[in-house]
Amino acid sequence: MKEIDLITMDLRQFLMCLFLCTVFALSKPTEKKDRVHHEPQLSDKVHNDAQSFDYDHDAFLGAEEAKTFDQLTPEESKERLGMIVDKIDADKDGFVTEGELKSWIKHAQKKYIYDNVENQWQEFDMNQDGLISWDEYRNVTYGTYLDDPDPDDGFNYKQMMVRDERRFKMADKDGDLIATKEEFTAFLHPEEYDYMKDIVVQETMEDIDKNADGFIDLEEYIGDMYSHDGKADEPEWVKTEREQFVEFRDKNRDGKMDKEETKDWILPSDYDHAEAEARHLVYESDQNKDGKLTKEEIVDKYDLFVGSQATDFGEALVRHDEF
């Protein structure tokens, strides 16, 4: 019980800080709030295989992991790549398909999200059964509020809890009110999951739609990103946002944004980089052109997937060994 209280106190302090920070941010009139969820990039490197495979390495391993491979000898790289191939081959049929490769690349791309869920997991899985029930989540997060439903720190815990429960139920695909790790990841990071997109849109609309008519009108749209302090003239970017609203956000020109228009704004559908990279990797290494890869085909092309370029590796040797 002690522990729960402590955690919950931490959460309250965190929320208080968040609240104060938000107030602080809003009080600065030039600060602009960004509601758009951007896709994380596969790599910040340029994709030009004639120069180097750095982009492919980042995409395939994630940028952090790719750095550790730069320190390995070709033999070590091949060995570790072989072990990775076993993981990518999800159905264990001995072949890596384009689809399996795409899932793997998406996984590498989202590693920071999985790490974040991993870090929070112990806190919520009270009975350590590898699952997090709504009861567990609610007790840990709102235990103090439930014991004392009338705290005077200014937060509407009831409203936050109702909203959390709705999102939890949406993430919980089989409706047993118990979240697996995947479902809990969808709960904490809903923008990463197709089946959670509607609730992301709904929550965003509720935040912005101050008169609760189910639409975002121009003043609500501007009011969410810019708080007037009365005296100052509107900065230039606010005027630009007004034009954006009329020209691009409000597609059917009825003066307000509905669900679909809000979705197009905050969750723009990007070109699928992971799919393109998976296709590229298969194309480059599929020796017998049967459309799927064996471990051998992948390891043969280890320099494309993980290995450092011969020249890089030479430099690494010079750095580490003294001749």
Which residues of this chain interact with ligand NAG, rule CB under 6 A? 126, 133, 135-136, 139
Please tell me whether residue 131 binds Ca ion under the rule CB under 5 A.
yes
Write the Ramachandran bin of 177: left for phi over 0, alpha for psi from -120 to 50, otherwise beta. left
Quick one: 53 or 142, whose CB is closer to ligand NAG?
142
Measured over the CA atoms of residue 295, residue 301, residue 304 and residue 308, the dihedral's sign is: positive
What dihedral angle (degrees, nearest 10) is formed by the CA atoms of 157, 161, 167, 169? 180
Quick one: 178 or 218, whose CB is closer to ligand NAG?
178
- What's the longest Cα–Cα distance across the chain? 74
What's the CA gap between 81 and 196, in Å, rounded? Answer: 33
Quick one: 97 or 141, whose CB is closer to ligand NAG?
141
**Counting Cβ atoms within 10 Å, is residue 168 exposed (0-12), middle (13-18) or buried (19+)?**
buried
Residue 203's SS3 state is helix
Quick one: 114 or 121, whose CB is closer to Ca ion?
121
Quick one: 129 or 176, whose CB is closer to Ca ion?
129
* Residue 188 binding result from Ca ion, ligand NAG, none, given CB thresholds of 5 to 8 Å by partner type: none
DSSP state of 245: I
Please tell me whether residue 176 binds Ca ion under the rule CB under 5 A.
no
Residue choice 125, 220, 277, 297 for contact with Ca ion (CB under 5 A):
125
* Residue 229 binding result from ligand NAG, Ca ion, none, given CB thresholds of 5 to 8 Å by partner type: none
* Residue 182 binding result from Ca ion, ligand NAG, none, given CB thresholds of 5 to 8 Å by partner type: none
Q: What is the DSSP string of 249-275?
A: ISTT-SSEE-HHHHHHHHS-----HHH
Shortest distance, position 148 Cβ to ligand NAG, whole Å: 13
Contact range with Ca ion by CB under 5 A, out of 101-109, 118-126, 210-218, 258-266: 118-126
Measured over the CA atoms of residue 205, residue 207, residue 213 and residue 216, the dihedral's sign is: negative
Quick one: 8 or 308, whose CB is closer to ligand NAG?
8
Shortest distance, position 1 Cβ to ligand NAG, whole Å: 9
Shortest distance, position 7 Cβ to ligand NAG, whole Å: 13
